[in-house]
Amino acid sequence: MNTSINQDINQNNQQQSLFRSRDPLHLTIGLLFITTILVTIGNLIFAESSAFHVSDYTVSLLGKYLCYALLALAVDLVWGYCGILSLGHGAFFTLGGYAMGMYLMRQIGDRGVYGNPDLPDFMVFLNWTELPWFWAGSNSVIWMVCMVFLGPGLLAFIFGSLAFRSRVSGVYLSIMTQAMTYALMLAFFRNEMGFGGNNGLTDFKEIFGFSLQSPSTKLGLFIATAIALALAYCACHFIVKSKMGRVVTAIRDSESRVRFVGYKPEHYKVWIFVVSAMLAGLAGALYVPQVGIINPGEFSPLNSIEMVIWVAVGGRNSLYGAIIGAIIVSYAKTRFTAIMPEAWLFALGGLFVLVTLLLPKGIAGLLPSIKQKFANTADSVEAKS
């Protein structure tokens, strides 16, 4: 009896694809790989006069977009799949950025304006005589890598444990995340915090011994970001396709039912929130050497809202959608702010309203519905003949 039932189940497997878009892991990774190769060739091989030349500026810009894409992936994981609308992911991104920034500051050594071999410039400026305790170890790569993940992860763990255990959810949670990033911004603006105050950390010279000004380092950072994005995509794909992903989706749909089935939703939420925060931290760490500065402005709630819009435009509940959304909106921002900077926020707001009204599933939601249309016409043609 069981075999016949299982056959039925297998037959029905085909119907599954009708209602759920499969996540195109190979396609996404493949496209990312090809883009990276093309950009590398365009940058290294073709001369500046050639039409195929990719300028160093473009390489850096693309590297920045890929950081945003990684960040969007992190936001999508908690919002699209678990229904946690975090308006504070900028905090995790910025913390990761600061961890990298501290390491880069220490690499400046005595090449700073004040030429102090031990202290970063801003500390000399504040008349500090020694490194604060939390800067200890910051000249080690291992310390930096740990902090990139531990800083955001720990904050997410503490925040998540408190919020999810007391069953805070929905709008209240969103407002709390917003308050969290705002509080951090105010704190980091203060000089006494020891993170460079409102100037932040900048004037970096080199990373792992490579000059940050050199085009080849920029290309290297771009490639590193692409690899990080690919790995993060695979990790997210694995999480989403595992039973964990289904539990998390179930939590989004009906948290109390999940509880009565025997799962502890708060554990799952904290876990996925921490993973997401770490991905955001990684994105921040890759972002800082490419833009050359990190300052408390990155904590601004506006940035966090922009991330949510990337995901909304690209399509939440779809990993590749988040990447598409981040890249498209960031590109639009680059173009738009060059033409009329003061109108960008209105455009962003308008975009959000339009997407919510017209494309609730985002750009990624368009593809399956187009496919469906083709399938339907094909069916009707078959039926006629």
Partner 1 sequence: MTANKAGSPLTAHENIVPDTRHGVILYVEDVNLSFDGFKALNNLNLYINDGELRCLIGANGAGKTTLMDVITGKIRPDTGKVNFGQQIDLLQLDESEIARAGIGRKFQKPTVFEELSVFENIELSLKGDKGIWTALFHKLSGEQEDRIGEILHTIGLVAECHYPAGRLSHGQKQWLEIGMLLAAEPRVLLVDEPVAGMTGQETERTAELLTSLAGEHSVVVVEHDMAFVRSIARKVSVLHQGSVLAEGTMSEIQANPDVIRVYLGEEQG
CA 331 to chain centre: 16
Distance of closest approach, residue 382 Cβ to partner 1, in angstroms: 22
Q: Which residues within the stretch 212-271 sit at the binding site for partner 1 (CB under 8 A)?
A: 239, 242-244, 246-247, 249-250, 252-254, 256-265, 267-268, 271
Q: How far is the CB of 179 from partner 1 (least distance, A)?
A: 28
CA distance 322 to 70: 9
User: Which one of 2-10, 66-74, 96-104, 364-372 is the stretch in contact with partner 1 (CB under 8 A)?
Assistant: 2-10
- Tell the smallest beta-carbon distance from residue 87 to partner 1 (Å): 23
- The site that binds partner 1 (CB under 8 A) totals a number of residues, namely 36
Of residues 12 through 71, those in contact with partner 1 by CB under 8 A are 12-13, 15-16, 19-20
Report residue 200 as tokens: 């932040």
- CB of 311 closer than 8 Å to CB of 322: yes
Q: Considering only residues 330-369, where is the footprint of partner 1 by CB under 8 A?
A: none
Q: What is the phi/psi pair of residue 201, to 5°?
A: -110, 130
Specify the residue for token string 């469906």.
372
Q: How far is the CB of 150 from partner 1 (least distance, A)?
A: 19
Given the complex with partner 1, which of 250 and 291 has the nearer CB atom?
250
Q: Are 365 and 315 in contact (CB under 8 A)?
A: yes
**What's the closest the beta carbon of residue 102 comes to partner 1, in angstroms?**
32
CA 363 to chain centroid, in Å, comes to: 18
- The residue ranges of DSSP E strands in the chain, in sequence order, are 201-202, 206-207, 210-211, 293-294
Nearer to partner 1, 1 or 358 (CB): 1
Cα 116 to Cα 102, 110, 205, distances in angstroms? 16, 5, 15
CA distance linking residue 339 with residue 205, whole number of Å:
31
Gap between the Cα atoms of 173 and 69, Å rounded: 24
Question: Distance between the two ends of the chain, CA-based, in angstroms?
Answer: 38
Q: What's the closest the beta carbon of residue 317 comes to partner 1, in angstroms? A: 8
Measured from the CB atom, the residue of 161 and 300 that comes closer to partner 1 is: 161
> Which residue, 320, 318, 317, is CA-closest to 328?
320
Cβ atoms within 10 Å of 240's Cβ, excluding its own: 20
Cβ-based nearer residue to partner 1, 20 or 190: 20
Q: How far is the CB of 84 from partner 1 (least distance, A)?
A: 16
Q: Which is nearer to partner 1, 191 or 249 (CB)?
A: 249
Nearer to partner 1, 232 or 327 (CB): 232
How far apart CA 216 and CA 218 sit, in angstroms, is 5
Of 205 and 259, the one with the shorter C-beta distance to partner 1 is: 259
Residues 6 or more apart in contact with residue 292 via CB below 8 angstroms: 202, 204, 212
Shortest reach from residue 361's CB to partner 1, in Å:
12
> Which x/- pattern, by CB under 8 A, does the window 113-152 give for partner 1?
----------------------------------------
Please, which residue, 78 or 99, has the CB nearer to partner 1?
Answer: 78
In whole angstroms, what is the distance from residue 295 CA to residue 300 CA?
10
Which residue among 8, 118, 179, 334 contacts partner 1 (CB under 8 A)? Answer: 8
User: Is residue 56 within 8 Å of residue 215, measured between CB atoms?
Assistant: yes
Rank residues 257 and 335 by Cβ distance to partner 1 and give the closer one.
257
Task: Name the residues that contact partner 1, by CB under 8 A.
Answer: 1-2, 5-6, 8-9, 12-13, 15-16, 19-20, 239, 242-244, 246-247, 249-250, 252-254, 256-265, 267-268, 271
